[in-house]
Amino acid sequence: MIRRNRKFTLLILFLWILPVTAALAGARHFTFLYEAPTSAPGSIELENWITWERATNSEQADQIGFRHEIEIGVTDHFQASIYFVDWSYARDRTQSSFSYSDSAIELIYNLTNPVIDPVGLSIYGEIKGGRQHLELESKLIAQKNFGPLILDYNLTLGAEWEEQGLQEHQGELQQALGASYELSPRISVGLEFLHEFVFPDWRDEEKIRNVFVGPNIAFRHQSWFVTVSALAQATNTPGEADFKVRTIFGFGF
């Protein structure tokens, strides 16, 4: 137990110290949406995600998910990312546990620019694998910048296989809409809206629809940024999170 705590303390220290040594970063205006512009060629950035979800409408349960991602700009229009590890801490009335979930590779190709073209478009592909878990995800990212206002739309199609022998499977279609207004070059505020359709066993018999909506705020300075979104469920799906709070902080090398 002491050993585990020591490792955890070292990880926290590492995450606190790294920003001081870093020197470059892009910035996110949203946490549940991706933006069309890709990273500059040659840039390397470390992003850390923390997502807290609480469900109360079946039994109260909390989950805090962590992701550690490195993002590499390959060309002016292409970026690659590696999710080293997705892991989580879950707690309900009877137990709590840490667990490793998966690791992933993500590729984004930018097709058009959100400033000079009618709409900025990018395509996204991700393959994620872990213990008894395989997931494929693709996205179409559309963005338009109107002066200090950014409008962003993501259409996501995902397929997931889980459990022993990857026998359980489900599909998910998600559309997400975001707006962010830049109050100053360092601070933006906005809204994010998610609309999910879940298809257990590739079927739509259960008609699972989830809607989440909430505000976000982003702050960036020199080599780092931090963006926070807090979304509440606008539907009433049993077992689904009542709210999700996601923080992404990133810094570059």
Residue 18 interacts with other proteins (CB under 8 A): yes or no: no
Residue 114 interacts with other proteins (CB under 8 A): yes or no: yes
Touching other proteins, residues 80-99 (CB under 8 A): none
The one among 53, 69, 73, 86 contacting other proteins by CB under 8 A = 73
By rule CB under 8 A, what count of residues binds other proteins?
31
Pairs from 163-171 (Cβ < 8 Å, separation ≥ 24): 163/132, 164/132, 166/132, 166/133, 166/134, 168/201, 169/201, 169/202, 170/198, 170/199, 170/200, 170/201, 170/202, 171/198, 171/199, 171/202
Residue 149 interacts with other proteins (CB under 8 A): yes or no: yes
Touching other proteins, residues 150-209 (CB under 8 A): 150, 182, 185
> How many CB atoms neighbour CB 239 within 10 A?
10
Residue 115 interacts with other proteins (CB under 8 A): yes or no: yes
The one among 208, 225, 229, 241 contacting other proteins by CB under 8 A = 225
Q: How many Å apart are CA 125 and CA 140, to the nearest integer? A: 9
Strand-pair partners of 229: 216, 246
Residue 250 interacts with other proteins (CB under 8 A): yes or no: no
The one among 113, 132, 170, 247 contacting other proteins by CB under 8 A = 113
Residue 220 interacts with other proteins (CB under 8 A): yes or no: yes
φ, ψ dihedrals at 52, nearest 5° = -105, 125
The residue (of 27 and 245) whose beta carbon lies closer to other proteins is 27
Applying CB under 8 A, which part among 34-42, 101-109, 167-175, 235-243 lies near other proteins? 34-42
The residue (of 25 and 46) whose beta carbon lies closer to other proteins is 25
Q: Are strands 96-110 and 120-130 parallel, antiparallel or unpaired?
A: antiparallel
Residues 61, 55 contacting (CB under 8 angstroms): yes
Query: Encoding tokens for residue 214?
Result: 């909430």
Residue 59 interacts with other proteins (CB under 8 A): yes or no: no
Q: How many Å apart are CA 46 and CA 69, to the nearest integer? A: 6
* Residues making contact with other proteins (CB under 8 A): 23-27, 37-43, 73, 76, 113-116, 145-150, 182, 185, 220, 222-223, 225, 252
